[in-house]
Amino acid sequence: MKKITIGLLGATAAFSMMMGSVQAGTLDDVKRKGSLTCGVSTGLPGFSNANSKNVWSGLDVDVCRAVAAAVLGDAGKVKYTPLTAKERFTALQSGEIDMLSRNTTWTHTRDTSLGINFAGVNYYDGQGFMVSKNLGVKSATELDGAAVCIQAGTTTELNLADYFRLKGMKYKAVVFDTSDQSVKGFESGRCDVLTSDQSQLYALRIKLANPGNAVVLPEVISKEPLGPVVRQGDDAWFNVVKWSLFAMVNAEELGVTSGNVDSMKSSANPGVKRLLSGDAGKKLGLNSDWGYNIVKQVGNYGEAFERNVGKGSALKIGRGLNALWSKGGLQYAPPIR
């Protein structure tokens, strides 16, 4: 199935490139379609995961919803396309999706050679290791000779090789297509270690039959800035996605929440005014209530964080690097003015 999909995507990509069709801007496309097609993961609790009623939720999903709220005035008008790590860039390049929001690491190669642009960082992450408790391993430096489950087409594959080479250790990589398969491989004992971005390890751990049996090791071996991605060469759309994310972060900084946004509308704070009304929207090709819609329907960055991966969720991840810059973290959005 996966293979067929990727083949089809590849063919579409090649075909659309052959034709060299000059697509209309994605912004106009989305407005015309009346819905946003957003590429997400095949299922990663906290980031993008569908429940039994096929309702998607997560931190990455909230970025899609924010963009839909800004462009269409309705955060619900999103069509989700689940993609494995291998399929995601082809799907974006071929125009199958309007944007990609799927725990994707911003790297130099991806940014410069795939014809894509990263529109910011919605989660600062780093790669970690998870092992089963009864192995008695306390540190990643004890992993010499271990079999490691990883997912194909991720930065994880490369970091792993670098780390083990640096430490002079050997490993055996067992590479799967989806995270479900790697989790299965880990659970059945095919591998001693499951490695991925640390946040994802916590997310995958709750998928285990017995989460208490697995521990996440303290080492973080890489930088994984995760963020939404758009096609290169469509600057208007790039701006819309970028500023939808910035609006969420700015809203948190300004103390605007989904609960108080209506009363905040009459705030005297000029920053709040520029976020919720004013002509910032027009300059993006959107309505002036774009910021209001985002905060009202999706919430600010902090709300989305706590709801999906923080205290309000099963993952219970602390803000850490993802706190606002003013609170010792890295989340920092350029001002709306």
Partner 1 sequence: MVSIAGITGVILFLEIRDSLYMPPADHGSQKVAPWNDPKVRSVVFQFVALITLGYFFYTIFQNTLANMERRGITTGFAFLGNEAGFGILMSLIPYDETYTYGRTFFVGLLNTVLVAGFGIVLATVIGFIIGVARLSNNWLIAKAAMVYIEVLRNIPLLLQIFFWYFAVLQALPSPRQSIAFGGIFHLNNRGLYFPSPIPEAGFSYVIWTLVVAVIGVIWLRRWARRRQEITGQQFPVVWVSIALIVGAPLLVFALTGAPLAWDHPSLQRFSFGGGGRMIPEFMALLWALTMYTAAFIAEIVRAGIQSVSHGQTEAARALGLRNSPTLRLVIIPQSLRVIIPPLTSQYLNLTKNSSLATAIGYPDLVSVFMGTTLNQTGQAVEIVGMTMAVYLTISLLISMFMNAYNKKIALTER
Ligand X SMILES: N[C@@H](CCC(=O)N[C@@H](CS)C(=O)NCC(=O)O)C(=O)O
CB nearer partner 1, residue 4 or residue 268:
4
Bridge partners for 79 per DSSP = 37
To which H or E segment does residue 226 belong? Answer: strand 224-226
Tell me which residues in 240-259 interact with partner 1 (CB under 8 A). Answer: none
Number of chain positions touching partner 1 (CB under 8 A): 54
The item of partner 1, ligand X, none sharing an interface with residue 168, based on CB under 5 to 8 Å by kind, is: none
Burial class of residue 184 (count of CB atoms within 10 Å of its CB; 0-12, 13-18, 19+): middle
Tokens representing 199 are: 């946040």
End-to-end CA distance of the chain: 48
144 scored as a contact of partner 1 (CB under 8 A) = yes
CB nearer ligand X, residue 222 or residue 244:
222
Burial class of residue 212 (count of CB atoms within 10 Å of its CB; 0-12, 13-18, 19+): exposed
SS3 94: coil
Out of 73, 82, 115, 320, point to the residue binding partner 1 (CB under 8 A). 115
CB nearer ligand X, residue 16 or residue 181:
181
Pick the closest to residue 295 from 269, 262, 323, 327 (CA basis): 262
CB nearer ligand X, residue 184 or residue 273:
184
To which H or E segment does residue 89 belong? Answer: helix 88-93
The item of partner 1, ligand X, none sharing an interface with residue 252, based on CB under 5 to 8 Å by kind, is: none
Give the residues lining the site for partner 1 (CB under 8 A).
Answer: 1-3, 6-7, 10, 13-14, 17-18, 20, 85-86, 89-90, 93, 109-110, 112-115, 135, 144-147, 152-154, 157-158, 160-162, 164-165, 171-177, 181, 184-185, 188-190, 192, 231-233
